[in-house]
Amino acid sequence: MTIAAKVQPLILADSTASLRHVFIRDLVVTCDIGVHPHEHGNPQRVRLNLDLAVREIEAPLHDDLDNVVCYEEIVNRVTGLVLDGHVNLVETLAERIAASCLKDPRVRIARVRVEKLDVFENAASVGIEIERKNS
């Protein structure tokens, strides 16, 4: 079997799978993050991007917030995670954010990107992007 045959594309916002796409783009927060001594106690700007594949409800959608995954709740939860204390790795922060989003059983897939914005003068950002699935 070739590598191409093993690769499964991420399915987001798919009408055949009854998915909708909830996203948060370019959320910039100040985070106590980093493994190097000069990073400890010196908060850094971090940009977060989240893409969530959400199961659509079976019943007709009513104009009611209880019927959807609320992006305000996600932003508040993610901001709380960031403010929860020092984290060494962007990978760790991304995993925590994905796990938090996947606690909602309607979220099938969470794609999380964490970027440190001020590490190198000649790079807009450095970071990680992960995809996690609800089992």
Q: Is residue 4 part of a domain?
A: no
The token duo for 68 is: 């959807």
Q: Is residue 19 part of a domain?
A: yes
Total of domains in the chain: 1
> Residue 67: phi, psi to the nearest 5?
-85, -5
* Among candidate residues 66, 74, 121, the one with its CA nearest the CA of residue 99: 74
CATH of the domain at 111: 3.30.1130.10
The predicted-structure confidence for 43-101, as pLDDT tens digits, reads as follows 999 999 999 999 877 666 677 777 788 999 999 999 999 999 999 999 999 999 999 99
pLDDT value of residue 65: 76
What is the DSSP track for 43-112?
-EEEEEEEEEEEEPPSSPPPS-GGGS--HHHHHHHHHHHHTTS-BS-HHHHHHHHHHHHHTSTTEEEEEE
Instruction: Please answer whether residues 100 and 81 qualify as being in contact, where contact means their C-beta atoms are separated by less than 8 angstroms.
Output: yes
pLDDT value of residue 62: 72
- Helix (H) / strand (E) element for 27: namely strand 19-31
Q: Is residue 46 part of a domain?
A: yes
Give residue 57's domain range: 10-133
Over pLDDT 70: what percentage of the chain?
Answer: 83
Q: Is residue 75 part of a domain?
A: yes
Half-sphere CA count of 14, side-chain side, radius 13 A: 11
**What is this structure's pTM?**
0.84
